[in-house]
Each structure stands twice: as C-alpha cells, then as structure tokens.
Chain A
Amino acid sequence: MSFINLEDVEKVYRTGEVETRAVDGVSFEIEQGELAIVLGPSGSGKTTMLNLLGGMDAPTGGKIVVGGQNIAAFSRNQLTKYRRSQTGFVFQFYNLVQNLTARENVELAAETSTDFIPSDEILTRVGLGERLDNFPAQLSGGEQQRVAIARALAKKPKLLLCDEPTGALDYTTGKLILKLLQSTCRESNTTVIIVTHNSAIAPMADRVVKFKNGKVSRVLYNQHPTDIDEIEW
C-alpha cells in the first residue's frame, strides 16, 4: 500500500455557469520516502493538486489517501490537525512572518507540534547557524527559503510539499535548495513532493508525475535518481 494514493481526485470551480476543472480525475501513487516531482506547464493543475494533498483545500470528488487515511473526507478540524502534524509546506515566495527572526519563524511552526526539532538545530542544519537572529528582510532569497524549509522540517513531517521552491531564486541558490530537499528526503525518509515547471531537474526524482490540463499525462520512474549537483541546466 503506497504512502500516498490519489484516486480520481477532482477539483471543480463553478462560477455562475462557468465550470473550471482544475483537477480533472487525477490518480497516482507515491511511496514513502520518495522524492517526487510534479511537472507541468502553468494552469495544468499541479499547484491545485499540491494544495489538495497539503490539506489546504478540499477536492470536489475522489479520494486522497495519505498514510492510510482519506483526507478528502476530513473535516476542517481534521485537516488542520493533518497539516499540523503530517505535512510541511514550502512556498515559492517563502511566506515567512516578517516580524519574526529566522529562529522565531521556525519556533512558530515548532510550537504547533509536540515532537519537533529545536529551531537552532534545524536552522544550523540548513546552514543558517549564523543568521538565527536576523529578520527575513535581512536575509537573501536563498536564506529565506532555507528558513522556510527549516520551518517545514522542524515539525518532523511525514510529507514535505514544495510549490516551486526555487521559482524566485537564481540558479546556484536554487540548486542549493534542491540539494537540501534531496538530502532531507534521503536522510530522514521524508516523502518530498516538488511541484515545478522546470523539467531539467526531473532526473533527481524517484518518480515524476506529468500533469497536463488537470490530468496526469505520465508517471515516470527513476531507478537511479541523479544527485542534483550533477544536474546542469
């Protein structure tokens, strides 16, 4: 039984008479500890699907089974609990709390969990041991994203969801971030799902899910994922 199993998941928006099928009957699986990449052009529904997986939105149809539970049927409270304890989310634009230092941003997340990694430790691990007391405005983009990742990882989530994590970063910094994600996945057996439109990084993943027009067009498997260091684009 796969860790994540999507069955005919639908997300349909109705505004008046106009029906928008953002996710149109999507089914795929992801095993625990995998690094999965969801590829697709803009508007293909991949972000929407990620949101559904993260419990931030509810599908209009289908089942999303994560760790044996169908989160599609979860109530709001259950979804909050799910988000609290099971998932970590990394956004394209970091979404750090500007008023808090790096350490405090991580602590913010750690507060919601009983089993967490101390903020100093996790920040050091992402290489920000020197920048613990800086505000996001005082950090570079990459540093901010690393703080966001540290925030996500502090909770020891089973599932780490990243929505275009390198979208606002340059090539080098982006690579750094991806490396971090990869090593996290390998070292802590965290399932990592990265949504991107950059197909060049597909080789780093264990599984690649290709999205098109709200549907899964292809699922690819990499027997031997490549280290991100070795990937150039």
Chain B
Amino acid sequence: MSNHTLLKNAFRDITRNKSRFLSIFAITALGVGLFAGLRSTAPDMRMTADAFYDKQKLADFRTVSTYGFDKDDIAEIEKTFGADNVFPGYYSDMFAYEAVNTFAVRVTGLSTEQGVNIPDLTEGRLPTAANECIISGDNFAGNFKIGDTVRLRPDGKNDSPLVNDAFTVTGYFKTPLAIDKGNYGTTSIGSGQLEMLIYIPEENFDSEYFFEVNIRLPELQPLISYEEDYKSYADEFKSKLETAADKRSVERLHSIKEEAQVKIDDAKAELSDGRREANEEFAKAEQELVDAKAKLDDAATEISDGEQEILDNRKKLDDGLKKWQDGVAELNDGAAKLAESEQEWQDGKDKYDDGLKKWQDGLKKWNDGKNEYDTGLTEWQDGYALYQQGVADWESGYKQYEDGLSAYKASYAEYEAGLGQYEAGLSQYEAAVLMYGEAALAEQKAVLDVTKAQLDVAAVQFAESKAVLDETKRQLDEAKQVIDENGAVLDSSKQKLDEAANEIESGKKELDDSKIELDEAEAELSSGREELDKAAQEIADGQKELYDSKREIDDGYKKLDEAESDLADGKAEYADGIVEYNKGEKDFVKEKRNVERDLAKAEREIAEAEQELADLDKIQWYVFSRGDNPGYTEYGDNANRIRNISIVFPVFFILVAALMCYTTVQRMIEEQRTGVGTLKALGYGGGAILFKYMLFALSSSLLGVLFGCLFFMKLLPAIIIDAYGIMYLIPGLVLPYNWALIGGAAVVATIVMSATVLSACLSDIRERPAELLRPKAPKAGKRVLLERVPLIWNRLSFSLKVSVRNVFRYKQRMFMALLGIAGCTALLLTGFGIKDSINDIVTKQFVDLCFYDGYVAVDDEKLDREELEELLGKENIVYGEVKTYTLSVGEKKHDVMLLVLDNDKKYTDEFYLVRNRLTGKRYDLSDGPILVEKAADNLGIADMGLNPKENAQVTIKITDTKSIDVPVAHISESYAYNWFYFSEKDYETYFGKPPEYNMVFFGGQAVATEQDRDALTEKLLKIDGVLTADYTNDAVTMFADLVQTLNLVVLIIIAMSGVLCYIVLYNLTDININERIREIATLKVLGFYNNEVDGYIFRENMFLTVIGAGCGLGLGVWLTSFIIKTVELSDTMFGREIHAASFAYAALLTAVFAALVAFFTHFKLIKVNMVESLKSIE
C-alpha cells in the first residue's frame, strides 16, 4: 500500500537516526567491501597476468627435440596448428662472462618480426646489428649496462652455435616467459639456475635445424591463462601436438636412419680399402728390414779386421818409441857434461876478463897519473916563474914607496914650518886686533887668511898624500905576505911532485908484470874453447838425428790414430745402423699393431653404429606449456592463496558486521516498541510495520554494499597486486568490476538484513498492541549453574554473584560479546603472529641455523686450492656442490638445491644446524639424504612429527630423459632455502659419479662490517677459479628487506583488528547500558557512588573480555597457522611459531581497548539521569 504518511515516517526515521544509519552503512561497506575486494583480487591477478601474456604474445606451447627440428618437422606442426601460429626459432643455454663473473644464460634468437614471446623493452632499443643484444632488465643485469659487451661461450665440451660471441647491450626487457623476479628457469649447465635471458638477432645462429618451436593459438587467446577452460583447451591442443610429435618422430627417425645407413656403408668400404693398403705396406716394410740387417752384418766383419791391423801397427810403433827414448837419454847425458865443461870454461873466461879489465884500468890510471904529474910539474914551473917575477915587482914597488915617503917627509917639514909661521902671525894679529881692531888690520887679516887657506889646502894635500902613502904601504905589506905564502906553497908542491914521480915508476913495473900473466891465461882459454866447440857440434848432430826419428814415430802414431778414428767412425756408423734398424723394427711392429688396432676399432665402431642405428628408438619431443614457465604456476598459486584468504578472513568481518547490524536494528525496534504498538492499534498490519524497518535496514545496508564493493574492489586488488609486484615483473593492472560478485553480495546482504529485521520484528509484530504499548517486562532472573556448586558460590562476594548472574542472564548478548571479543583478539593475535612468523625467517634462518660467514662459487678445474686455503684457513672451509633439481612425488613437484659436501660432519657440526624443527634433534648425513621441511611438506612425505613417512622416496629429474629415485632419511628445519643434503658417499652411490665441487663454504672470518666483506671479496676474486662471493650478512639484509614489505600488511591487519575490537566492545557495552538503564538508575537512587556503578557494569565486561580474549587467543593460533601456510612462498618456509610476547600483546591490546571502552562508558554512566530513566508510564 502506498501510504503517504507511513512513507514519510519511514524516511524521517532515517534522517532522525543518522548515526545508526551510518553505522550500518559503514560496517556493511567495510565487511562486504573487504570480502568483495579480496575475492576479486585473485581473478584480477589472473587477468592482469593474462593481459601481459596477450600483449607480449606469450606462446601457449613450446617444444624442443633431441634432434632439433627440420623442415618436415615444422611442416607437420604447421599442418596441425596452422602456419601462422607456429614460430620456429633458436636458443642455446650458454655462459656469459665479464671480467669477474660468469653466468648461465639462455640466449634466444630474435627475429625482426617477432611473432611470439615478444620481449617488452623497458629501456634502450632493440638490436639493429648482428652483434647487439638485449638482456633481462633485472638482478644481474646490474652488472651489464647498456653499452657493455656480453661475451658468451658454450658449455665445456660443445661448439658454439653462434656466429659471433660478443654482443653489445642495447637495452633491457621484461618477458612474459619469466615473470618471477630473478628466476629465469632451470638449465642443465652450470649451477642449474639460469641467471639472465638474452635476445640476439636470429642470424647469429648458424644451424640448419631449428632448436625450438613456439606455438600460439588464436583459439586460446580470449581465455584467461590460469582458469580451467584455458587449461582444458590447452590440454586438448597439447595432445594434438604430441600426436604430431609421435608421427614426426617416426618419420624423422626413418630419414635419419637412412642417412646413417648410407654413412655406415661408406665407412665399411673405406675400412676394407684401408685394410688392403695396410697389408701391402707391411710387406714392403718387412723386406726393407731384412736387407738392412744383411748390410749391417757385413759392416761388422770389416770392422773387426780393421781393429786387428791397428793393434799390430801400434805394437811396432811402441817399440820404436822405446828405442828413441833411450837415445834421447844418452844424448842428454852428453849434453849435461858439455854444459858442465862449458860452465868451467866460462868461469875461466870471466876470470880472465876481470883480470884484463883490472889491468887496463890500472894502466889507465897510471897514464892519468903520469899526465897529471906532467901537468903539475909544468904548472909548478910556471908558478915559480911568476913568483919570482912577483918578488921582483915588489921590491921595486917597495923602493918607490920608500922614495915617496922621504919626499913626503921633507914636504911635510916645510908645511909644518909654514904652519908655524902662520900661527905666529895669527897670534900677532890677534894681539894687534885687540889693539887696533879688525878694520885696521884687514889686509893683514887678508894675508893671514890667504895663508891659512894655502895652508889648509896644503894640509889637505898632505893628508891625502899621507893617506896614499899609508895605503901603499899597506898594500905592499899585503903583497909581501901573499908572496911569502905563494913561496911556501910552491915549496910544498915541489915536494909532492917528487913523491908522485916515484910512485909512477913503481906502478909501471907492476903493470908490466900483470900483463904477462894475463897473456898466459888467454892462451889457455883459447885452446879450451876449441875443444868445447867440437863437443857441442857432436851433440847437435846427435840431436838432429833423434829429432828426425821422433818425427817419423810421431807420423806413425798419427797415422795410427787416424786409422783408429776411422774405425771408430765406422763403428759408430754401425751402431747407428743397428739402432736405426732396431728402431725401424720396433716402429714397424708398433705401427702394425696400431693400424691393426685402428682397423679393429673402426670395425667395432661400425658395428656399434649399426647397433645404435638398430636401437634408435624414438626421437623425443618435449612439449612445454605455460605451466612450465618459471613463476607462472607460482603466480597462479599466489592468486589462489589470496582467494583462500578471501574466504576466511572477511568472513570474520562480515559476521561481526552482521551482528552489529542485527543488534542495531533490534535496538531500534525495541526503542520504538510503543510506536509499533500504536501503529498496530491504529490498524496497520504487520506488513506495513515490516516495511518501515526493512526500508531502513535495506537502504543502509545496500548502500553500504554498493559503496564498499565499488571502493574496495578497486583498492584492495591494487594494493595486493602492487605488493606482489616486488616479486613479479608483470606491468599494468587489470581491475574490472565483478558485477556478478557485487550482485551476489547485494543479494546476500538483502537476505541477511531481511532476516535480521524479521527476527527482530516478528516477535513484536505478533504481540497484541496492548502488550506493545506497555513497557516490556524485564527478563526474568534465573539461577545459574554455578549456584548449584555451593562450594564456590558461597565464597563469591555479593558483587561477583551479581555479575555472574548478569552475564548469563542475557545469553544472546553474552555470546555476541564473547564472539566479538574472541574474534578481535584472534585477529590481533594473527596480526602479531604473522609478524613473528615473517620476522622469524631471518632470525631463525640466519641466527639459529646458519653459522657460516658465506660461500664462494668456484670453478673446480681452475681453482687454486692452496691459495684459497691459505687465505681462508684450511680448517675454516667445506667444499660443496650445489645444483638445482626438480623433485617429484607422483604429481607433486618441488624445486630444491641439492647440496653435496666433502666434509659433511664439519658442515653439520659447525656451519649449519640440520635438525628436526619440533624435537630439535640434530641429524647426521651418514643416515642418508636429508630434505628440508617445506619441500617434504609440499611433496607429502612428512608425517606429524616431521619425520619422513615410511619408505619415503623422491624422484630427482637429472635431465629431460633421466631420473633417479632416492630415499629420504630425515627432514630438517629450514626457512630461506630448500636444501636436499647428500654426503659424498651417497651422492656417488645414487648419481654414479663423484661430485664436482662448485661451492666453498667458509666460516671464522672477520666479516662484520661492509668494508671487511668488500676487502675479503677483493682478495677472493683474485684467486684463480673463484667466481663470486656471497655473505650470510648480505643475505640477512636482503631477506630483511623482503620481510619489511610484508610487515606493512601485518600492521594494517593489526590496526583494523584493533579498531574492530573497540567498535565491538563499545557497541556491546552501549547496548548493555541502554537495556539496563532502569537498573542503573535504581542503583544511583540507592546511593551507589559512580565508581560503584561503574564496577557493577564493568565487572561483567571484564569477565566477558577475559574469557573472550582467552578463546580468541586459541582461535588466533589456528587462524595464524592457516594464513601462514596459505601465504608462504614456495621456496621459503615462514616461522611456525608464535612468540609468547605476541600472545601477551594481543591480550594486552584487547585489555587496552576494553579499558578505553570502560573509560568512555564511565562518562555515559555518570550522565544517566535517574529521574528520566525511572519515569513511570503514566
């Protein structure tokens, strides 16, 4: 009925109860939105990936063959699938190397019109020249930058399939083939893990066969990769491909067999020709040998004759030599004697010479003496003459002097008389002067003066003469002396001369005597000389004779030596000849043997080839679908995990939301009880009343559904896909609205709300109006079960009894409260639990389990072990081989890293804790191979105690064609890595070959700081054969980063749970108070203080909170474990423990929120107005 006023009433209800309307709206939006958002995340993830796959034209299938693909193979495939959909191509797994590092990479040919698996260029450009390439833009590409050169080499024994081997990087790419960051797939080379993908222009592959064929089907494009219909269609096509494979393999086999057979026949013909030739050659050679032997024998005879001759001649010469030697001795004696005599004669001569010399000297002296005497005598005579002359001169001189002297004396007497006169005159003058004066007597004076002057002159003259006379006298005296002296000298000289004359006489006599003696001696000497000369001549002749005979003998020996030498040469030649012959013989034998052997080998090979050909079974094509791409399945699994979470997680929220809505509506209806009664009294039917409330409830909830879905369906998938973006390389986001889901949610919301309204209204509607108009009878009190136990009941205080009764009185409310609180505590615990679990990966893995400092990857053939052991310390290292393998048990698969150790005891003692996670028991590799928990779990071979099930075995895929089964002895704890441990012995047993160590684990180094680690790395990389170095510390950092991102999610969960907790508690308390407002007012009237009133209400709350929290903790443990197991990554095990602290935190937070609620409620209680609350209905 379209009743205008009723409608108005209905709408006014909405406007007047805005907060109630909004709270229903909000809670519905949150609950449904969360559910819808999470629910649509999984499909969105799949669609996002699929969009990427479609855009980059990801192949649906890839096939490789043990023999490659020839034209006919390709034709067959094209026939089955359509030529446009088939893309043959080239690839090769090789090693890329730069200065320091070597990587296993997959090199794929890129055609200029790439129709499938198109790389998505993220930086740079595509290659334009044959020696350019693009590389996967992640992880190790950090080592190669655009512009760097990548050098490639094939795995060990094979030839390179490429024309070039060095390529310049022109850009980075992402590819739909490997969406998992850092995981490019497995390979059979190196460590088993591909570390980079490279595309190079196709023309670099120099091969007549294609190595791979990619197939992309238009029928499959509209389907979404991960979904069932894609899978089933894909399986259909896959089986078609397999049919083609079977057909082709037979045909190809046939053609290969034909080719091979032709080759075998040729080989056989060659073989028989070869054999014939060989036999001919052998005969020739044998003949040569025989001839040579004969020649050698002749030579031997000649040589022995020659030897004999030489011996005889030698004897002869020896005799001759002896004779000569005797002769020489004789001659020598003679010579010696002669020498003596010579010596005597010489002495005599010397004596004579001396004597002669002496005589000659004497004579000379005598002559000199005589001359001297003669000279002296002459000189004396001259001297004597002079002397006499001198005397005569003197005497005359003396006479002169005497004359002079007499003259002088006479003059002087005159002078003196004159002077006397003067002086008498002078005295007269002077007397006269006195009388007369000077003037008068001037003339007299003048005369006197003149006289004086004359006298003075005379004086002077006299003086002078005297002097002269004196001088003369002196001179005469002197001369006299001299003459006297000379006279004496002359006398003595005369005497001497006389003596000398005597001596001369005697001397002459002596000389004459001596001369006579000398002459006699001389005569003797001459005769002696003659004799000696004769003897000398004889000796000389004898010498000459000997000399000549010696020469003859020498010639004889020389000739003999020559002959010997010739003989020796001859012998040597003969010996050489023998050697050559022997060698020739040996070579012949050897050659013959070799040739025989080669021929036999060739025969064998031909036989083998024939056998192989006969055995050649089928050529194997391996067909891979998208599921085999690395990361593909995992991504789908992750989407599934989200889907799982989306089922469990939001249910909590939705339940709580439904509960809240129910109570809100119920309360509203309760409040309007009298209104309802009035309407009924007025004659409105139940339908009208229902309509009012339905409108309210449905409009608010459906609006909430709509908003929640629209908002969260875009937001949540975006956040989650973004978070996964850390691990995956899928660009772009596809977030369509899932209208079906929204519609479904709307329907569910409608049903729930309708049910709510109905159940709340129904009881009221059925009541009679009068009843409705009266206040509702309060619910009767009842005894609780506990009262029947007087032991406890009587011990409780009054207020406790009240609280217990109150709690059980309103059962519905009690259950709701418990559920709400338990749910929130569970969510809080889950939040903390997940955080613990994630953080534990790092702590448990790298602190509890892993003790080694790091490891180096090595090339065992090139490794300089001594240097490495010196650098790190021999006792600090363990060698290991690490290779990635896929394990399978039935259909279940899991990748592991198989680790073989050379010193497994040391490893388990010092480097890595291999133990059972539950019991902590440590294991030894001597019991057999040990597998980690995560892998064992996934493969289904672990039992509850984390021990392997009985006879647990895993299959290891070694190559595409070979697998082995291996038992598992124990299961060990590990978080970050999937290990499969083998001792050396076990490895050899199962793999049939010794391990090739490519890893060295080391401990006991100082690597705490980054500088230490860099320094050590530098030293390590200098050692030959060391490829890379990794440290536990660095791994810790990497994992810690990964863990950080997940912590964010956890934080959100905790926050939301906390808010929910608060809302639930607040709501419940609110309802509680509202229902019991009269009770509360009564208490106030009775004079209860505010805190007593608080206590009355809160005791119940506390009770419920404690029990609810307890249950919540238990629930949380289950929820955590469920979520962890679904969220875990496939190669990491999250921690399985919730820390004790987390329980405390969850409980604490719940308590905190409860306290908060109590705090706000307290104010509400104070505001309760006694008067209003207790108003009687009048």
Contact = CB atoms under 8 A, between A and B. Distances in A.
Interface in B1051-1095: 1078-1079, 1081-1090, 1092
B782 A54 contact: no
B687 interface: no
Contacts of B1081: 95
Interface in A111-162: 111-112, 135-138, 151, 155
Contact of A51 (B1083, B1086, B1171): B1171
B781 interface: yes
B805 A99 contact: yes
A85 B1089 CA distance: 12
B1176 A92 contact: yes
Interface string A26-60: 00000000000000001000001001001011000
A42 B1178 CA distance: 9
Chain A interface size, as a band, is 35 or more
Interface stretch (A2-10, A101-109, A182-190, A213-221): A101-109
Interface string B780-802: 11100000000000000011011
A83 interface: yes
A112 B781 contact: no
B1079 A97 contact: yes
Q: Max chain A CB contacts within 10 Å: which of B799, B805, B1085?
A: B1085
Nearest to A164: B1176
Nearest to A138: B780
B798 A56 contact: no
A56 B1170 contact: yes
Nearest to B1086: A109
B1087 A80 contact: yes
B809 interface: yes
Nearest to B1088: A112
A200 to B, nearest CB: 19
Nearest to B808: A99
Contacts of B1084: 56, 80, 83
Nearest to B804: A99
A185 B134 CA distance: 107
Given A91-B1176, A104-B801, A83 B1171 contact: no
Interface residues of B, number: 30
B1085 A89 contact: yes
A56 B1171 contact: yes
Given A83-B1085, A84-B1086, A100 B1171 contact: no
Contacts of B323: none
Contacts of B1078: 95
Nearest to A94: B1082
A88 to B, nearest CB: 9
B1176 A93 contact: yes
B779 interface: yes
A134 to B, nearest CB: 10
A98 interface: yes
B802 A99 contact: yes
Given A85-B1087, A112-B1088, A97 B1082 contact: yes
B806 interface: yes
A89 B1176 CA distance: 14
B222 interface: no
A98 B798 contact: no
A81 interface: yes
B782 A135 contact: yes
Nearest to B1176: A92
B781 A100 contact: yes
B803 to A, nearest CB: 10
B992 interface: no
B432 interface: no
B600 interface: no
B778 interface: yes
Contacts of B1178: 42
B1174 interface: yes
Interface string B1147-1178: 00000000000000000000000110010101
Interface of B: 778-782, 798-799, 801-802, 805-806, 809, 1078-1079, 1081-1090, 1092, 1170-1171, 1174, 1176, 1178
Given A91-B1176, A108-B802, 12 more contacts: A51-B1171, A54-B1085, A57-B1170, A82-B1087, A84-B1087, A85-B1087, A92-B1176, A95-B1081, A98-B780, A136-B781, A138-B780, A164-B1176
